[in-house]
Structure 1
Amino acid sequence: MTRASKPIFQSRPVQLTLGLLIGGVFLYLSIRNVSWDTFTAELASIKPAWIILALTLYWVELGARVIRWRVLLSHLQTPVSDRQISIAFISGCAANNILPAKLGEALRADLLGRLANVSRVAAFGSIIVERLFDMMAILGMTAWGIWFATTAHPDTLAEVKHGLTLIAAPVAALTVVVCFLATRQNNPINLRIKALTETAQNLVKGLNALRHPSSYVKLVISSGVIWSLNSITMWCILMALGVQLNASQTILLIGLTGIAAAIPAAPAGIGTLQYAFHLASVLFDFAPSVALVAATLVQLVLLGSATAVGALAYSFAVSHHLLADKSAQQ
């Protein structure tokens, strides 16, 4: 009997190629009007104090993200330590910055399963909830920015509004489905799932945090803290380059960069992140070279630091034999 071949879009080489192509297109659109001389001039004008502040706030944000994931995982039957959560989280961040198509999320779930002897599928279910809260925050911030941000380019803002409309519908539908599966345990879908594989059942277990009203409060508060820190971090990055946005403009920038980060493109958002900052430069009238430098700083300083620490954390787990056999848990 021959093994069934994977669908073409599940092939890692295909995912890598598509990710690089998507990132390459957006990168070209971002840099085509930027000269090397203006880029290097903007680099030379960076104010280091603002970068240090941005880096500090970024790591506080990552700490808040670990706490939020702890809330989601607290409803699993198997206890998970803070160290295990932290190692899995930061290693997953590093993988997301190295691998295309957001494959770091799968690695994070797999790593937690091997560290804490929990179901990897249940861990992935908790990540789905986490990302849904992030997408709702991102779409809300984008909508706020579209409504309240001042710009001299209404046509570009209208294009952003159109894109938001296209994204909002599937996110809203997915949110309804996830909440339904988590809160209505005896609905026909869940009853069918219980009759199916253990893998499907474990995925629903990962959504258990949504069954508890107190979890919603914790998740909303922690998500608010996370995205407030993210907003101030990005504001500091632009301040380092002499660009000062008001609150609504900064919120719209975060919405744009958040949408860019959700696109399964090249590693570390190369191309998509540059294009998000490029759109902001058009909307808020600062130089495209500043946008390119700002995006590059985010990738090198912020994401780069998380990648380095994540690689060290993974190496620590391996060298101290903390990882169980991959086949131990589904």
Structure 2
Amino acid sequence: MEHPLNSREENVSSPALVEERFSHAILKSALAVLFGIGFGALAIRWTGVSLKDLRASFASAQTWKIIAATIGTFILSASQAVRWHCILKGTTNVSYITIFKSKIVGYAANCVLPARLGDLVRVEFVSALTGAPRSKILATGVVDLWFDKIGWMITFAIAFLIAPMPSWVLQAMLVMSAIIFVIGIALALFTVKARNLKPDSFLAKFREGLSQPHLGKLAFAQLFYSPLSWVWETLMIVFVASAFGVDLNFAQAFAVLTAMNVSMVVPIPGNAGAFEVASTYVLTAFGVAPERAVAFSVAYHLIFLVPGVIAGAAIFSANSSEFQFFQMLKRAYGTRSAKGSPS
């Protein structure tokens, strides 16, 4: 007699069930995106911006700056890849180009998956291409995220020296510094205390990813690498805003960037709607005309979304044969097509 657990495992991994779960995930993501766009549209409409004024703001924008900023988004991904590669190379044999590709794939996945689940796709991408354990790659991803927030704090310090900051930015940075401290202590304690773990277990491999052979050298290097992407994107905001006739200093642009990142707590794929609302709110608080603030926010988001999704989908498609899930998905759709075709 067949064991019920074995039967359940076969059902879970069956192509038909994979297809069903994939379809449900896509549907949920699409509904979440529509909700976000609808929410954003209502919030922006509340500002009193008319479509006529919005079209005029888009028409007056300097197109060459927007095109240049589109290229700048890939430079941003490249700077983020430098930071993660610096961490990964201490524990895993992986090339920089693989990390760069994973960053783009992860961003594209975040545009269709809620709650930043694209970050897990990024981990899976690197694991599939290198053969390294997922838990080990995940650990380096956590360290990368931790250093990323350190970079946020360093960039805040730079911006704070340039011009005064709104009180809410100071409060957000205080909360972030507390989170950074707590997570840093937790990671350090786990690395030191969790020594007697079962070999090849998830936690053992996770700890292996946390254990850096040259921690002091890594920490020193990250003082430079971690703020790179934050400084670059802050300058990008200044640059793109100028395309719409909006003059922002570095501190104001950093406040806009902070609002964009805080809005990511809303678990909507691609941060649709929440991104525009947060950016528009801060810009209008700085005295920017609502129609220009909305035009900038929408354009800036699209600068990332359009090329990011296209490039990420292309890279992922080229490497999809490495992923067991998509092999099963192809078999599922292939089986359905075969059944539907005439004999």
Shorter-chain TM-score range: 0.7 to 0.9
Give the 3 Å change call, closer, same or farther, for CA 146–232 of structure 1 in structure 2. Answer: closer
2:186 to 174, 177, 185: 177
Contact 1:142-1:254 within 8 A present in 2 as well: no
Amino acid at match of 2:88: L
What is the CA distance between 1:213 and its match in structure 2? Answer: 1.0
Q: Distance in 1 between matches of 2:158 and 2:258?
A: 9
Q: Distance in 1 between matches of 2:298 and 2:107?
A: 17
1:120 to 110, 128, 134: 134
Does residue 71 of structure 1 match 2:71? no
Contact 2:155-2:231 within 8 A present in 1 as well: no
What is the CA distance between 1:314 and its match in structure 2? Answer: 0.9
2:104 to 90, 93, 111: 90
What is the CA distance between 1:264 and its match in structure 2? Answer: 4.7
Report what 2:46 is aligned to.
32
Q: Distance in 2 between matches of 1:310 and 1:53?
A: 19
Amino acid at match of 2:64: A
Report what 2:331 is aligned to.
none
Report what 2:14 is aligned to.
none
Gaps of 5+ in 1: 4-10, 152-156
How many pairs align?
A: 305
Give the 3 Å change call, closer, same or farther, for CA 28–167 of structure 1 in structure 2. Answer: farther
Give the 3 Å change call, closer, same or farther, for CA 288–212 of structure 1 in structure 2. Answer: same
Contact 1:231-1:251 within 8 A present in 2 as well: yes
Amino acid at match of 1:114: A
What is the CA distance between 1:202 and its match in structure 2? Answer: 1.7
Contact 1:179-1:210 within 8 A present in 2 as well: no
Does residue 62 of structure 1 match 2:77? yes
1:191 to 192, 195, 198: 195
With CA pairs under 8 Å and 6+ residues apart, which has the higher RCO, 1 or 2? Answer: 1
Gaps of 5+ in 2: 9-23, 326-343
Q: Distance in 2 between matches of 1:148 and 1:81?
A: 37
CA deviation map 1:259-291 (0-9, x unaligned): 334x25212221221122123213311022222
Q: Distance in 1 between matches of 2:59 and 2:229?
A: 30
1:104 to 112, 118, 130: 118
CA deviation map 1:183-231 (0-9, x unaligned): xx3x2xx136x14871112222222348611111222212222222111
Contact 1:139-1:255 within 8 A present in 2 as well: no
Contact 1:210-1:216 within 8 A present in 2 as well: no
Report what 1:288 is aligned to.
290
1:228 to 222, 227, 231: 231
Contact 2:238-2:253 within 8 A present in 1 as well: yes
Q: Distance in 1 between matches of 2:138 and 2:145?
A: 10
Amino acid at match of 2:245: G
For the aligned residues, what is the CA RMSD?
A: 3.2
Contact 2:109-2:121 within 8 A present in 1 as well: yes
Does residue 302 of structure 1 match 2:278? no
Higher CA-based Rg = 2
2:218 to 215, 219, 229: 215
What is the CA distance between 1:141 and its match in structure 2? Answer: 4.1
Amino acid at match of 1:175: G
Amino acid at match of 2:60: S
Give the 3 Å change call, closer, same or farther, for CA 124–80 of structure 1 in structure 2. Answer: same
Q: Distance in 1 between matches of 2:32 and 2:177?
A: 23
